[in-house]
Chains A and B, each alone.
Chain A
């Protein structure tokens, strides 16, 4: 009996050492920009995306006992952890909002969530881990949306500014990525298990314009690359150059969803694949990556531009003042002149050269012929 136990133990240990068995932390960043979701509501509703997402999260948790998940909402102009929920302490001061007044694992929270989400299929018969995540995600998103509705209707002074955010398709993706990276870093550092842990990000993106946070987003992308965290992007609407670059630099998948109704299938067939299996799988990622940079002045994507040698800002037009728009250093006037003149001068030169080239040999030929002609008759004569 003992012998049998030993071998099984050995086998088990051996199993644990294989890379396939390393648990992974999946961080999902979901853009919850209400305006954009309303705009694309014809093709896909937030509710259906959410139910697909919850199935996906449960599938991920089911794959390994120690698999973990984190959900971050990238909202209009701020990012917030949805799961794991913020640890809440009852505080004396009135510093935080009413959210703090509820006791963290108290019954009132759960009952409220359960009562509101019975229709979404979360019930007490569900596997506990799944249920906890589902409830927390639903509650977090609800908390995110409810104050918005009241803000719009009641608040007057500050909501004017915030109104812009509803119309422009923006989200705090840099903040969400930064939060995700900090969270991942700590959870990888303080992992209780002796086996290492893997991490990856999934961005469910709907917004188009992310250019206003160019430098922080790029910093976050490089941090992810350094930590070997692939960033997968699931694009439900629009197209974002930076997210393409993010997934390309970090070795993730960028996929534009053609049929949003079948989102669950996309998620479960492409995005569920563990990063260490990806080298064996033919991934449906986008191979042509748009690497154009954005002009700091005109905010347009350009493929040829001028770069300031001091601050490395990208400008597509030479500023008339001769100063860098970002760091306001003076540009060398001679190089500016050269850059400005170049196309005009070279065209003229080319034409002249061509003319010169075509003319001179013909002249020479003519001369020679003339000589010959001159010579020939002279010899004949």
Chain B
């Protein structure tokens, strides 16, 4: 009974859609008939159907194929400037969401499950799904440890109906990358087994303490899963163990994956994504590097949050190489455990002698920006232009404000400046993106003294008071 296979709903695919894009979709079926969900006897999927409807009221795959270069259209003057400004704005939109500080599971334990079945030989992603998945997985490992240095990762593969361990659960990115490099030459074959992979992952995450998160990220290329037992039972076990599963589908939506994600994530649909193209694949993968917000149920059951004892060892240099306690290899220099004075060669780790968690304080600091995110900058209105004439970050002069015609025909003035809400410093678009994406600081707030900010605010208040009577008159 492979019910996971028969009622998949296609959201995207490579080849078929490309064929359709060549003009077939223009003369396809009548839209009024196809929008009736009951016609197929699938009234239960009504919700999903509405989600899939495109801009024209039909299904997404019935829309005309949109090429990225068709979006760019010259205005009357034959200039691209307006469109470019729009694109820049769109890029900026990314940083406008998700800045509410949530309580997040910072100490993560994640198992990355890679599909190594026959389905990965498909060439809809170049050069093929398998090669692309591995190269993205390597990038993912780097980014994951960059964002979550206190976390642990393990990798397993699904192949020949079995779950194969690829790398052990650990905190060293180099070990994982080496393991991923070594399986590059293997040919994917056989069927995948979700159940086996999930059970292995559950076993690997069994020992994880309560204050850490247990997560599984599956990259699933196939549309079937050949399981030895009842996978629904496994899903229930995962829910009991508070393992949160996130799936990235490479081909199409699979019902069992959706069920799996919904059940393990408190009915949250966002943890299951099906890729549209290569860049969307990467986007979905990189989304998983941000720590998950803690759910109420997960914190509710606990008696309170945990307090962990950690050691912050100092780096030493040696002229003669000595043995390290963790690998028994001769190394020059390393870190000394503050409790038992044993030498370890890599951090973060657990002291092999006294079992103390050893970590660099810089590792902890690296996670702070998830907890205290920088608030988005807001657009500067025209009346605030007088306050500054150059960007606080890069010192470049601001360009003159541009007047753009919106789709409604109204004229809109774009100042191309963005201001921090707490210090009222103004920034250019490059610095805004940089501050939110890389720096996670507001240079204005940091570089200005409190008295400077105060006078600025006082001045702007005066200006506001002057302006206010104007509209009422």
A219's partner among B360, B394, B439, B448 (CB-CB below 8 A) is B439
Residues of A within 8 A of B438 (CB): 181, 185, 223, 226-227
In the assembled complex, the Cα of A312 lies from the Cα of B451 at a distance in Å of 31
Is A370 an interface position by the 8 A CB rule? no
Measured in the bound complex, the distance between the Cα atoms of B360 and A292 in whole Å is 8
Interface centre among A93, A190, A303 (most CB of B within 10 A): A303
> Which chain A residues in 203-224 approach chain B with CB under 8 Å?
213-216, 218-223
Tell me whether B361 and A293 are in contact (CB under 8 A): yes
| Complex-state Cα separation, A79 to B367, whole angstroms | 26
Most buried by A among B361, B387, B428: B361
Q: Does A218 contact B303, Cβ atoms closer than 8 Å?
A: no
- Tell me which residues across on chain A come within 8 A of B386, comparing CB atoms: 91-93, 95
Say if the beta carbon of A324 comes within 8 Å of chain B: yes
Interface string of B52-95 (1 = CB under 8 A from A): 00000000000000000000000000000000000000000000
Using Cβ atoms and an 8 Å threshold, which residues of chain B touch A227?
438
For the complex, what is the distance from the CA of A80 to the CA of B103, rounded to whole Å?
Answer: 35
CA–CA, A214 and B364, complex, Å: 12
Instruction: Give how many B residues have a beta carbon under 8 Å from the other chain's beta carbons.
Output: 70
Docked pose: A89 CA to B443 CA in angstroms: 22
**Residue with the greatest number of chain A CB neighbours at <10 A, chosen from B106, B307, B387, B397:** B307
The answer to whether B306 and A78 touch across the interface, beta carbons within 8 angstroms, is no
- Which residue in chain B gives the minimum CB-CB distance to A181? B439
- Give the docked Cα–Cα distance between A288 and B319 (Å): 12
- The chain B residue with its CB closest to the CB of A182 is B393
**Count of CB-CB pairs between chains A and B under 8 Å:** 223
State whether the Cβ of B434 lies closer than 8 Å to any Cβ in chain A: yes
Q: How far is the CA of A294 from the CA of B452 in the complex (A)?
A: 29
Q: Which residue of B lies closest to A319 (CB)?
A: B307
Main secondary structure of the interface of A (DSSP, over half): mixed
Residues of chain A with a CB closer than 8 A to B170's CB: none
CA distance A134 to B386 in the complex (A): 31
Q: Which of B307, B367, B435, B451 contacts A339 (CB 8 A)?
A: B307
- B363-390 near A? 1/0 per residue, CB < 8 Å: 0111111011000000000000011011
CB distance from B459 to the nearest CB of A (A): 6
- Assess whether A302 is in contact with B312, with CB atoms less than 8 Å apart: yes
A178 to B445 CA separation, bound complex (whole angstroms): 10
Tell me whether A237 is interfacial, beta carbon within 8 Å: no
Give A contacts to B, CB under 8 Å: 76-81, 84, 86-87, 89, 91-93, 95, 158, 161-162, 172, 174-176, 178-179, 181-183, 185-187, 189-190, 213-216, 218-223, 226-227, 245, 248-249, 287-294, 302-312, 314, 318, 322, 324, 327, 329-336, 339
Can you name 5 A-B pairs with beta carbons within 8 Å? A174-B446, A181-B438, A186-B430, A287-B317, A309-B211
Contacts A223-B439, A288-B316 given; 20 further ones with Cβ under 8 A?
A78-B447, A174-B441, A178-B435, A178-B441, A182-B391, A182-B431, A216-B446, A245-B361, A245-B362, A291-B315, A291-B360, A305-B312, A306-B309, A307-B310, A307-B364, A310-B305, A329-B103, A335-B304, A335-B307, A336-B307
